[in-house]
Structure 1
Amino acid sequence: MGADAVDLLVIGGGMAGLSAAARVAAEGGSVVLVEKAERTGGSARFAGFVWSAPTVEELRRVNPDGEPELAAALIDGFAEGVEWIRSLGVECRPPVPVLGFGRGHQVDTNHYLDTCERLIRDRGQEVLTGTWTRTLLTEDGRVTGAECLLPDGSPRRIEAAWTLLATGGFQGDPRLRAEHLHPQAEHVGLRANPHSRGDGLALGRAAGGAFGKKDAGFYGHLMPAGVSLADPARFVDLALYYSEHALLFDTTGERFVDETVGDHLTTMALLERPGARGLLVADARVHREWISASYVEGIPGVDKFQLCHRAGARSAVADSLADFESMPEEWGFPGATIRDRIEEFNATVGAGGTTEPGRLLDSRPLDEPPFYVIETAPAVTFTFGGLLIDAGAHVVPAEGRGTIPGLLAAGADAGGLYRRAYAGGLAPALVFGLAAARTALTGTRPAALGR
């Protein structure tokens, strides 16, 4: 490794990568950030809340199969991450409840991402967009940088004491979705940027990194089936967050999940049902209290049913449960069966009984007409499976113990934190991005490397 090697090479310019690179630059370190897309930011540009569980105990409760070390690192680093955002002059609003158990801050994410990039450039460090990383460089078992292809196709070798993989996961690759999520995931919608196609995962595994956890799942939302998600503005507008207060049926006309566990978990369950399609049914009370109301404090409410209807979703308003028997055959759902199941549900919860599947939270009857019906399908935002890391963002090897020298991962390229559970996406990217920066600034440098 030459004396002109940088402290940190960041591959991927989303929340994790920009946070790491900006922190290193702010502390006087040398850094190069490489982004495949023409613009930095990735899927973080479509998000607006930095949040997680308030305590390690709460995170372990909702995410019992995640790595305890990573859970503790996330909670321990959250406050520092928020202060880092504020130190850059980016507004981070007072904390509010999120998803019933979490707590977090609304952030102008685009302002934060652009500020990080500007800081990197202002400190004389490089940001290379439209640049693809072809392979990692190694020397005596240590990752020492990468060989990249610049926009004009010319190669560039970048040597670094530490290399951070932060390319955003593999949700943009249909083949990888089918392999690691579910065969039906090949054809599901993508509510994220299309550039995160497993580049970091491939680079890290080629360097000997471990992949995990098995069957980790993904974060996503129920979206209206058959509606194009090409416009990122639809990612939030059409997300059917209210599903936890409605009833969800598969193509056999049966409920198959406790909807109240949360839309993000229901989405994973629907992916595994026949055709990965469902029918979401709400009544007038749910429409009034949830469909057209604010989902998170500080975010104005909109009538999502009307938005979906105008977007061309298969939807209907039924004046009574009897109308379900007339459901069009081409919809592919047994309307009479769904009517019967709703009536059975109402009778059971009205009598104080327990339904199957049960409902942990909202168990009120769905009996106030009219009824709002939308055909729905799962859509993926980012994947949970990734390169296994420790609390310092070091990549763990597939064979042997310890970590892979010189190699870090953060954001959706890092696995182990969540398994079929979720407690925020921006927060882990921020916290472990900053952890990677800390490692790069304080970690042991190879003897052959000069400043």
Structure 2
Amino acid sequence: MDLNRRDFLKGAAVASVVAAGSLAVGCTPAEEEPAEKWEYDVDVAVAGFGAGGAMAALTAQKGGASVVCVEAYHQVGGTAMDSAGGATGPGSMEVAQANMPYSKPEFLQTFVDCIGEATNVMEEYDAFIRPGAGGVGFTIGAESTHKARVECYEDLAEKFVDGGGVLLMETKAFKLLTNEDGSIVGLMARKSDGTEIKIKAKAVILACGGFQNNPELKTKFFGPMGDQVFCRAVPTNDGTGLLMAKEVGAALSTGLGTFYGHSMAANADVEFMDFYEIGSQYHDNRCIVVNLDGKRYYDEGAGVAGDMNNLELINQRYARGCVIFDQNIYDEWGSISAGGDKGADRTAEVIERGGRVAKADTIEELAEKMSAWGYHKANTIKTVKEYNEAIDNGTTADLEVPRTTGLIASIIKIVEPPFYATEVVCGVSCCYGGVAINPNGEVLKEDGVKPIPGLYAIPGTAGGITSAHYYRSSIGAAVAYAWKAATCALDYVSAGQE
């Protein structure tokens, strides 16, 4: 049956194929076995068709494997669709080690070696991409818009299906299947209508994201306030990959308490894909950020556009803070997008969605309004005063919490009325911890040494690759390891057929 682009993206045609028990091109029916029935029998099954899952599926297909991919969300491309779209990486081990000092060298080597290979796959499939930052990797989309990124992955999905692959949308993997010796033999998936699908596969690649939308796992790994961390990712990233792997005896990685994201406006009525960009406070590295005690708690200039605020904010009382800025910052940087372009007026959008934003003609009046949210009025006034004085005196490094320029050109005084305060919470885009893998993307057993035969995972689902330090692109690590995992899975499948 020919699955056209519109049908497979909606999932309607795929649903009819599965219900009828027939198969798309490239997949062969499993031999009837007395005790069980398989809807599909393939070489490789991939859980997820985000940036990493698509790379794994396309690489395996390009290598001659029959592939089934299950995607839990209603849209292909995953969380990458509402990022800046950079799938980039380090061009050398020297650059990698300088920028990711907490990562193991062998993991960095895979990142360095494979980001170019992943780019080659995108080019061979004529993907809608642009050069990556520094000439390493690629940038998703023909232009820097959400629409362009979606078009890129819809096009890749169509080519995957046209090439014989099966893509099951709104179909969530929920259980790995093993034989007596613990080797992977397939997976179970569930469609949105509750229908269960049994897929026989010689190898399975987990590319279904982290646990960004699992309050229990976030509390367990991020700390007591973990359930308050905003899921700044596809809502289907609920830890399914980690839980499935753990059930078949997988080890977990280091860095489970670390993550990447940006601070998000608190209390706003939002959903993913609506607020990912406009709710992010990318300008907070030019502002003052205080906790409920009215005190600064981190160097706002550190990190990349608020990502370090996240890691410190989660340790503050109630995991909440307030970004304080003036009209100058509002006008110059209040609508800068993740890609550095002018975008939506984020403060206006936050107000429209019911988020907490205060506006006042004086800092004293602003602090009074913030006090209604629980922020210490006197300390807030004192913090802003001392901050401005330190800039005048050139003593920002001597503040109780030192202030540096970081990646911005200069530190700006908060002096031009009106003044603004936006309350923020943590937002997690990518979990750095997850399933333990080796540099080949093979999932490790509980001993942390031996791999589970036939099981692979990529960053997002897998952890310990980029550790606690963000460098350019979590998407870059995902696609690099997806290429590596798929290539190793092809070797594994080939060896099993000899």
> TM-score, normalized by length of structure 2?
0.82
State the number of aligned residues: 444
**Structure 1 residue 152: deviation in Å?**
5.7
Q: Work out whether 1:308 is the aligned partner of 2:350.
A: yes
* Amino acid aligned to 1:204: A
**What's 2:112 paired with?**
75
Residues of 2 paired with 1:345 and 1:23: CA distance? 52
* Amino acid aligned to 1:366: K
Judge conservation of contact 2:288–2:324 (CA < 8 Å) in 1: yes
Judge conservation of contact 1:161–1:446 (CA < 8 Å) in 2: no
**What's 1:9 paired with?**
45
**Structure 1 residue 55: deviation in Å?**
4.1
- Secondary structure of the corresponding residue to residue 406 of structure 1: strand
Q: Work out whether 1:343 is the aligned partner of 2:377.
A: no
**What's 2:329 paired with?**
286
Encode CA deviations 1:282-325: one digit per residue, 9 max, x unaligned. Answer: 2333233322445534x334432233233332222332333345
**What's 2:76 paired with?**
40
After TM superposition, the structure 1 = structure 2 runs for residues 211-226 of structure 1, keeping only pairs within 5 Å, are 211-226=252-267
* Amino acid aligned to 1:57: E
Residues of 2 paired with 1:241 and 1:318: CA distance? 22
**Structure 1 residue 267: deviation in Å?**
1.1
Q: Which runs of 5+ in 1 are unaligned?
A: none
**What's 1:250 paired with?**
291
Q: Work out whether 1:129 is the aligned partner of 2:163.
A: no
After TM superposition, the structure 1 = structure 2 runs for residues 5-404 of structure 1, keeping only pairs within 5 Å, are 5-47=41-83, 48-96=85-133, 105-107=139-141, 108-139=148-179, 140-150=181-191, 153-262=194-303, 263-293=306-336, 296-297=339-340, 299-327=341-369, 329-353=371-395, 354=397, 355-361=399-405, 364-370=411-417, 371-399=419-447, 401-404=449-452
* Amino acid aligned to 2:483: L
Residues of 1 paired with 2:96 and 2:349: CA distance? 33
Encode CA deviations 1:57-88: one digit per residue, 9 max, x unaligned. Answer: 34433432223222222122222323322332
* Amino acid aligned to 2:239: G
Judge conservation of contact 2:336–2:342 (CA < 8 Å) in 1: yes
Residues of 2 paired with 1:73 and 1:208: CA distance? 25
- Secondary structure of the corresponding residue to residue 82 of structure 1: helix
Q: Residues 328 and 254 (structure 1 numbering): CA distance in 2 closer, same or farther, change over 3 Å?
A: closer
Q: Share of identical aligned residues, percent?
A: 27
Runs of 4+ in 1 over 6 A off after TM superposition: none
Q: Which runs of 5+ in 2 are unaligned?
A: 1-29, 32-39, 142-147
**Structure 1 residue 177: deviation in Å?**
1.0
**What's 2:482 paired with?**
433
* More off after superposition, 332-341 vs 351-360: 351-360
Residues of 1 paired with 2:217 and 2:336: CA distance? 36
Residues of 2 paired with 1:284 and 1:96: CA distance? 31
Tell me which of the two structures has the higher relative contact order, counting C-alpha pairs closer than 8 angstroms and 6 or more residues apart: 1
Residues of 2 paired with 1:26 and 1:337: CA distance? 61
**Structure 1 residue 150: deviation in Å?**
4.9
Residues of 2 paired with 1:292 and 1:400: CA distance? 45
**Structure 1 residue 369: deviation in Å?**
1.4
- Secondary structure of the corresponding residue to residue 183 of structure 1: coil
Residues of 1 paired with 2:225 and 2:69: CA distance? 35
Judge conservation of contact 2:268–2:353 (CA < 8 Å) in 1: yes
